[in-house]
């Protein structure tokens, strides 16, 4: 795996709380951030025992160099119990489901500050990840981002969002195409990093193709639900040797043209202008190319 030079968690992997074997598979996967989901992925009868095991699971994942994220239930449901248990594991991120209202982000922000103080943790050290899985959540993501300085990323939902849109699910994902574009636009405008919706089909080649499409749109981060999909998704996110060479050619040609006093350079049929040059340079810097 070629690691990006900047501090981005590019692959986010969801998993339930009740499957210890899957916790190990997640730890050994190519994902950088692992999400233990106390909401949909963990049946309610299992939650008390999973809460007690959160520090153990977090320790396992950290031993493999992973960022630990715990998705709690809504604060009006079992969220307070989840949050109290989660903070004892000192996760880097708390994910919030069905995020749609800035008031929920305010409440979570304050609850985190209180919990961090009680446990002697640095106040503000725990990030908030809004999971936007309703139509309202997608159109509200900018307001959500402004509700707390703890929010660095936001994650687009898949199945709940499709259900809320009354859309029919397909492997091609046409039903979520507009939401993907809108979510990306709003997150970039808010200055936070968008995470593309989880790939919820079974084929690894589909995970690769969907991640490649997301990357073309402008996503730099992808979420998944199966450890065996992470290598395929990583291969789609990371530039190949051929792509890096093409980026270097664009940068070199543009810099040479500017030295000659020309405004742009033509490379493989594409006019390299200032924005194109900066984009190529950024990608090279991100991936150490």
Q: Assess if residue 6 is contained within a domain.
A: no
CA 47 vs. chain centroid, Å, equals: 24
Same domain (yes/no): 80, 200: yes
pLDDT value for 3: 40
Distance CA 99, CA 156 (A): 10
Q: Which two tokens mark 104?
A: 């929920």
pLDDT value for 288: 81
Q: Assess if residue 36 is contained within a domain.
A: yes
What is this structure's pTM? 0.93
What domain count does the chain have? Answer: 2
Same domain (yes/no): 114, 20: yes
Exposure of 50 in the CB half-sphere (CA atoms within 13 A): 25
Distance CA 190, CA 68 (A): 24
Helices (H) and strands (E) in the chain, counts: 12, 10
Residue 2 has pLDDT above 90, yes or no: no
Rg of the chain's alpha carbons, rounded to an integer? 20
CB 161, CB 152: distance < 8 Å: no
CB 224, CB 197: distance < 8 Å: no
Distance CA 157, CA 66 (A): 22
Ramachandran assignment for 173, one of left (phi > 0), alpha (psi -120 to 50 degrees), beta (any other): left
Per-residue pLDDT of 63-98, as tens digits, reads: 999 999 999 999 999 999 999 999 999 999 999 999
Same domain (yes/no): 252, 174: no
Same domain (yes/no): 123, 44: yes
Same domain (yes/no): 147, 246: no
User: DSSP secondary-structure letter at 72?
Assistant: P
φ, ψ of residue 12 in degrees (nearest 5) = -115, 125
Per-residue pLDDT of 249-263, as tens digits, reads: 999 999 999 999 999
Same domain (yes/no): 197, 263: no
Distance CA 136, CA 131 (A): 12
Same domain (yes/no): 233, 278: no
φ, ψ of residue 15 in degrees (nearest 5) = -155, 155
Q: Assess if residue 117 is contained within a domain.
A: yes
Distance CA 113, CA 271 (A): 50
φ, ψ of residue 222 in degrees (nearest 5) = -135, 145
Per-residue pLDDT of 201-211, as tens digits, reads: 999 999 999 99
Q: Assess if residue 191 is contained within a domain.
A: yes
Residue 105 has pLDDT above 50, yes or no: yes
Q: Which domain holds residue 245?
A: 241-286
Residue 173 has pLDDT above 80, yes or no: yes
């Amino acid at each position: 795996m070629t690691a990006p030079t900047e501090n981005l968690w590019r692959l986010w992997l969801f998993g339930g709380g009740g499957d210890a074997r899957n916790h190990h598979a997640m730890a050994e996967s190519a994902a950088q951030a692992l999400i233990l989901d106390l909401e949909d992925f963990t049946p309610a009868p299992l939650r008390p025992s999973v809460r007690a095991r959160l520090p153990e699971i977090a320790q396992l994942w950290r031993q493999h160099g992973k960022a630990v994220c715990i998705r709690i239930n809504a604060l009006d449901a079992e969220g307070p119990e989840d949050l109290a248990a989660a903070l004892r594991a000192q996760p880097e991120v708390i994910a919030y489901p069905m995020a749609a209202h800035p008031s929920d982000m305010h409440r979570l922000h304050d609850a985190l500050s209180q919990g961090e103080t009680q446990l002697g943790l640095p106040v503000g050290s725990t990030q908030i990840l809004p999971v936007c899985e309703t139509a309202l959540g997608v159109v509200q993501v900018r307001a959500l981002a402004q509700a707390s300085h703890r929010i660095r990323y936001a994650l687009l939902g898949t199945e709940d969002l499709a259900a809320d849109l009354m859309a029919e699910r397909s492997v091609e994902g046409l039903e979520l195409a507009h939401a993907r574009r809108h979510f990306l636009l709003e997150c970039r405008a808010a200055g936070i990093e968008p995470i593309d919706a989880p790939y919820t089909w079974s084929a690894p080649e589909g995970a690769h193709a969907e991640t490649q499409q997301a990357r073309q749109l402008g996503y730099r981060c992808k979420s998944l639900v199966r450890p065996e999909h992470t290598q395929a998704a990583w291969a789609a996110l990371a530039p190949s040797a051929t792509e890096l060479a093409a980026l270097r050619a664009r940068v070199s040609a543009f810099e040479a043209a500017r030295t000659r006093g020309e405004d742009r350079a033509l490379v493989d049929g594409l006019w390299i202008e200032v924005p194109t040059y900066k984009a190529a340079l950024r990608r090279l810097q991100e991936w150490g190319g």
